[in-house]
Structure 1
Amino acid sequence: MSALVTAWQFDSKGSGEELSLEKAQSAPSDKIVWVHLDATHPDAKKIIHDFADLNDHVVASLFADNTRPRCDVFDDGYLINLRGVNVNEGKDPVDMIAARIWISGTRIISLRRQPMMAFNDLRHAFAKGRGPTGQGDFIARIANSLTERMSPILETIDDRITEFEDMGYLDSKTDSELVELRQDIARLNRYITPQQQALLKLSNLEADWLSDGCKATIRHALDSVMLYLEELKELKERMQILSDQLQTQSNGRIEHTMYVLSVIAGIFLPLGFLTGLLGINVGGMPGVEDENAFWLVTVLIGAIGLGQYLYFRWKKWI
């Protein structure tokens, strides 16, 4: 399998031509060329060096194992890392994956470690003749596509929390599910928060390829991200309320159990003392020679126990 996922040459009208790697590398400098690579392939770095003369810092950032959303300006280009939810089959959507993009002049390089629908959207748009019209439109569409796919994930988490809120009573199984939800919220917040800063910086870039219309699209994505952050904050607060409710219920169960044990101990402690006293092996014990002594003691103990029970009921202790 090649490191090249796809390569396109496109114009200001949104029409594009899919290229081989050789044609992409030899394309005229006045033509906008996008090369999309698989960052996990061993040939990816060599292709980048052949396609564009990047410094080691940029290359290291593009291939870093763990990247946070960012928008950095260099003398020869722009490094943009954004995150999107993982909608690949069998993957956890909350495990957000990175879109790594380098824009320099008319050359666009993007890398991914897993398939990303945002890049597939561009390929389909090119195939229909409705692709990006420039570098600014390219990055604006990526930002918008990544942002739109976050909404269903947040709605799913919201629905799950609502289910717990409607239950009224939470059990121990619910506790583990709540922990998973809190972890999901924390993982989303980890990348969406810096994504807000990256989009804000991107929307304020002074680049000749970034038009006001593209900036408006990016600001729309930024507004959505800010809304998502507010929703995450609200979800976190609702999770805290559920956790407090679960803790209160757990404490209530413990207190009830301890109370029941205390009542049982209160009833059987004097009875145990009486049976222990009658069980001492010394001379002079009353009733030793009486055949009915055992039954008399049994009735006495039963009467004492019943009397304690009725007394506890009268005092409303049980």
Structure 2
Amino acid sequence: MEEVKNHKRKVGLPPGTILYTGKEESKCDVKVDVYSFDDKGIEKKSLNYSDDISFIKTNNKFNWVNITGVHNVEIIEKVGELFNIDSLILEDLANVNQMVKIEDRGSYLFIVLKSIEMVERKIIYDQVSFILVGKVLITFQENSKDIFASIKKRLETPNSKIVKRGIRYLSYAIIDNLFDNYFEIIDSINGKVGTMEYNILKKFKEEYLEEILYLKREALGLKKITYSMREINLKFFNEEVLNYFGKDLKNYFRDLYDHITSICSSVDSLTSDSSELLQIYYTTVNNNMNSVMKILTIISTIFIPLSFLTGLYGMNFKHMPELENPNGYFYTLGVMLLIIVIMIIYFKKKKWW
């Protein structure tokens, strides 16, 4: 519903209008981290969105600019002006509801992917956009979570492979890191599915239905994203796109494709398992209902002959000799009890109870 509302805000606006479409609570402080490096070393700068970043075009180094907070129009416009970025691309940077994609714009490459994390049992997707232009990589992320922490650590390690191989390899490493995070989330959801299956079979509760539907919904959401990521991954092998990274990285992207294929396979299994979980739930509900009906049927069956006896002695005939017996009442109760015992033994022998 929130996504629909945000899209409605764009209705009637001309193409290329920069408008943030995310949730208000997703807004965070804008940060600009710049990593400049070459074979002599690496330098990091943390800037404000209003600071000048034009030095990245003239310092003759590889530069990675990571911008956090795409709700800020000023920083997006500044990047657009500095690198002559198409207004439609700038619009996409602030539109966090974009599907994943790759666009070759001649002088630069534009990529949109989705990062993923688990927050309080819920999968959160955040948009991560890339602009690769010459020796500069600019990444835009929606929230303040440091999703590139492991990449930054590798970058700052002495004799780093990333520093030696330059901005193109850094771009690949970031993309690969985003894909690797999917494995952790899928493993986490798989664990929840396994636990839920055990709970249903061993300690069933009707409240489990809501959790099962949640797991199924998350699995379907994962499937939608991962399959689109796999389709996008194929574009890395296009001649035009591969030129931005260098043909020496072709084998790395082939390995990346193997990763995303494995992710899709895992998500398929997860989707299937979550659907089977729902079937197990309903089967368990039916079995429990059948057990209840079985007990009620047995009880009703046992009382049929007892009802016959009570009905027989309630007919008020004048000549019923056993009614004259002082112990007739107790004899009748004894017969009733004997009938109950015999019927229970019979049901047990037939394994009906």
Tell me the TM-score normalised to structure 2 length: 0.71
Q: Is the 8 A contact 2:77 2:90 kept in 1?
A: no
Q: Does 1:200 align with 2:234?
A: yes
Secondary structure in structure 1 of the residue aligned to 2:178: helix
Q: Is the 8 A contact 2:114 2:128 kept in 1?
A: yes
210 and 93 in structure 1: CA distance in 2 versus 1, 3 angstrom threshold: farther
The aligned runs of 1:22-33 (5 Å cut-off) are 22-28=51-57, 31=60, 32-33=62-63
Q: 1:120 aligns to what?
A: 149
Give, in whole Å, the separation in 1 of the partners of 2:167 and 2:156: 18
Give, in whole Å, the separation in 1 of the partners of 2:235 and 2:134: 19
169 and 204 in structure 1: CA distance in 2 versus 1, 3 angstrom threshold: same
Secondary structure in structure 1 of the residue aligned to 2:244: coil
Question: Cα offset for 1:204?
Answer: 2.3
Question: Cα offset for 1:119?
Answer: 3.0
- Counterpart selection for 2:82 from 51, 56, 61: 51
Q: 2:103 aligns to what?
A: 72
284 and 96 in structure 1: CA distance in 2 versus 1, 3 angstrom threshold: same
Question: Cα offset for 1:165?
Answer: 7.1
Identity of aligned residues (%): 17
Q: Does 1:146 align with 2:178?
A: yes
Q: 2:65 aligns to what?
A: 35
Secondary structure in structure 2 of the residue aligned to 1:96: strand
AA paired with 2:204? S
CA shift digits 1:181-204 (9 cap, x unpaired): 434433322222111112221232
168 and 191 in structure 1: CA distance in 2 versus 1, 3 angstrom threshold: closer
RMSD: 3.8
AA paired with 1:63? A
Q: 2:130 aligns to what?
A: 101
CA shift digits 1:33-89 (9 cap, x unpaired): 4332221446443433443433332122111232332212234532201223327xx
Give, in whole Å, the separation in 1 of the partners of 2:350 and 2:184: 56
Q: More displaced, 115-124 or 193-202?
A: 115-124
70 and 294 in structure 1: CA distance in 2 versus 1, 3 angstrom threshold: same
The aligned runs of 1:141-290 (5 Å cut-off) are 141-159=173-191, 169-173=201-205, 175-176=208-209, 178-207=212-241, 208-241=243-276, 243-276=278-311, 278=313, 290=324
Flag structure 2 segments of 5+ consecutive residues without an equivalent.
1-27
Secondary structure in structure 1 of the residue aligned to 2:113: strand
Question: Cα offset for 1:309?
Answer: 3.9
Q: More displaced, 299-308 or 264-273?
A: 299-308
CA shift digits 1:262-302 (9 cap, x unpaired): 1110111342354356557x785958985845445434433
Give, in whole Å, the separation in 1 of the partners of 2:105 and 2:261: 27
Give, in whole Å, the separation in 2 of the partners of 1:54 and 1:44: 13
Give, in whole Å, the separation in 2 of the partners of 1:15 and 1:23: 22
AA paired with 1:34? W
Q: More displaced, 222-231 or 67-76?
A: 67-76
Tell me: higher relative CO, structure 1 or 2? Use CA pairs within 8 A at least 6 residues apart: 1
Give, in whole Å, the separation in 1 of the partners of 2:345 and 2:122: 60
Tell me the TM-score normalised to structure 1 length: 0.77
Question: Cα offset for 1:6?
Answer: 0.6
Secondary structure in structure 2 of the residue aligned to 1:85: strand
